[in-house]
Amino acid sequence: MSGTDKSKAGLSLDGPIVILVEPQLGENIGMAARAMGNFALGALRIVNPRDGWPNIAAQRAAAGADHILETVQLFGTVEEAVADLDLLFATTARPHDQAKPVVGPEAAAGEIAGHLAAGGRAGILFGRERWGLTNEEVGLSNRIITFPVNPGFASLNLAQAVLLVGYEWFKRATSGELPHAMPERSERASQHQMQAFFDNLIRELDKVEFLRPAEKRDTMLVNLRNIFSRMEPTKQDMHTLHGVIMAIAEGRKGPAKGGVLDGEQATRLRALLAEHGSGTPDSGSTVRGLARLLRRNPTDAERLLWQALTRDRRFAGLFKRQTPVGRHIPDFVSFPHRIAIELVNPGEGEAIAADRAGRRSWLEARDYRVLEIRAADVERDLEAELARLAGMMEQGA
């Protein structure tokens, strides 16, 4: 499996010494070194390699574990290779009928860890590819390591055996800590957010008469709610699902064909944006996409006001719609005059009001003047609102 993160430093652990007895193929030595590198085993001894040393085939198969091959120690006999060790394990798949403890790799890792912690030196013997270790070589060891494998097919590749032992050792040494976990991109959605989404979903399902027959409506609603409750969605999940529902709902009339959000829809969409909080997401986020949906689909009042701002000579070219200012997106903004316009739609709840208050405070702290205009006033007397805006601009001139 590929996936080495070269930006991270490797661990340096005092582990057991790996001893390969008369390995026959350089490729197997290299793959054993690679397995050692996977699990922070750095000390490799080789007894009488058949094809000599150094070995180019081993270097090619090591796949980056060159630091292990560069520090290999060579020995002529097993006795010489283990002379300085005081705890020795021999790996074998065959019973050698010797009266000494037989353990699995997990138990061996535990004993080795304790031995090294007490200042001892431990090693593990791995035999030849074709016939493993001799009785005499196993006789030099204190313990035998064998693996819980299929008894009818127990032979392991040399590198596989090193990997299994290395895995258990590393797991013991690091308490089984995984190198990475699922990123926590968003906190879990609150019951309030879940209910807001569910209300939106039910509203749209009722429009297409999905929840029928009437006598099954309550059961269907419970089943739907359980689907989302079992998901344990995050806040970001809720934003995405809200966006999906809005996109499907608006798709019936098609924003590209000139569809316009009505007041109720705009209010729900603004509430969703307010729930996200004050941070402006990056350009690829769902919430930024919802802001673009507002920009493409203005309410009647917003469209009237925008047309007036672009056509009236007093304001032409001075204002932009749904444009980020720092980490906020006011409805209209004039950067030259540092004026932000907030359009207040009917039926707005506490979430939108609190979001607008926070945005206003943030903007005013940065010398923007904020003008709130009620959507109903735009539709009733647009000229009066434009005059109020012109007066604000003259005061700041």
Q: Which CATH number covers residue 125? A: 3.40.1280.10
Q: Which of 94-108, 147-161, 205-219, 234-248 has the lowest mean pLDDT?
A: 234-248
Identity of the amino acid at 69: L
pLDDT(256) > 50: no
How does strand 339-344 pair with strand 122-126? unpaired
Say what the pLDDT of residue 354 is.
Answer: 82
Neighbours of 316 (CB within 10 A): 11
Each residue's pLDDT tens digit, 363-378 = 999 899 999 999 889 8
Is 279's pLDDT higher than 70?
no
Q: What are phi and psi of 220, to 5 degrees?
A: -65, -40
pLDDT digits (tens, 9 = 90+) for 160-193: 999 999 999 888 888 777 766 666 666 788 888 8
Which phi and psi (to 5°) does residue 282 adopt?
Answer: -75, 170
Q: Which of the four pLDDT bands, split at 50, 70 and 90, describes residue 86?
A: very high
User: In the predicted model, is pLDDT for residue 335 greater than 80?
Assistant: yes
Looking at residue 233, what is its pLDDT? Answer: 84
pLDDT tens-digit readout, 126-144: 999 888 899 999 999 999 9
Vertex 17: Cα angle to 15 and 20 (nearest 5): 145
The answer to the question of residue 352 being in a domain is no
CB 75 within 8 A of CB 45: yes
pLDDT surpassing 70 at residue 260: no
Alpha-carbon distance of 346 to 107, in angstroms, equals 70
User: Is residue 291 very low, low, confident or very high in pLDDT (cuts 50, 70, 90)?
Assistant: low
Beta pairing class for 369-374 and 143-145 = unpaired
In this predicted structure, the answer to whether residue 6 has a pLDDT above a threshold of 60 is no
Most confident by average pLDDT, 35-39, 240-244, 297-301: 35-39
- The sheet with strand 320-321 has its strands ordered as 320-321, 332-334, 339-344, 369-374
Question: Band of the pLDDT at 257, cuts 50, 70, 90?
Answer: very low
In the chain, the number of structural domains is 1
Query: Quick check: 340 pLDDT over 90?
Result: yes
Q: Is the dihedral of CA 202, 207, 208, 209 positive or negative?
A: positive
Judge whether 188 lies within some domain.
no
Q: Which domain holds residue 116?
A: 17-173
Q: What is the DSSP string of 84-125?
A: T-SEEEEE-SS----SS-EE-HHHHHHHHHHHHHTT--EEEE
Say what the pLDDT of residue 265 is: 61
How many other β-carbons are positioned within 10 Å of the β-carbon of residue 370?
Answer: 18
Mean pLDDT of 109-130: 92
Q: Summarize the confidence of residues 220-238 as an average pLDDT.
A: 86
Strand 339-344 versus strand 332-334 pairing type: antiparallel
Q: What is the pLDDT of residue 276?
A: 54
Decide if 279 is inside a domain: no
Weakest-pLDDT range from 160-164, 210-214, 264-268: 264-268
Whether 285 maps to a domain, the answer reads no
How high is the pLDDT of residue 327? 73
pLDDT at 179: 65
Q: Looking at the domain assignment, is residue 87 inside a domain?
A: yes
In a domain, 72, yes or no: yes
Per-residue H/E/C for 18-64: EEEECCCCHHHHHHHHHHHHHCCCCCEEEECCCCCCCCHHHHHHCCC
In a domain, 200, yes or no: no
pLDDT of residue 181: 60
Question: Is the model more confident about 89 or about 97?
Answer: 89
- Kindly state whether residue 73 falls inside one of the protein's structural domains: yes
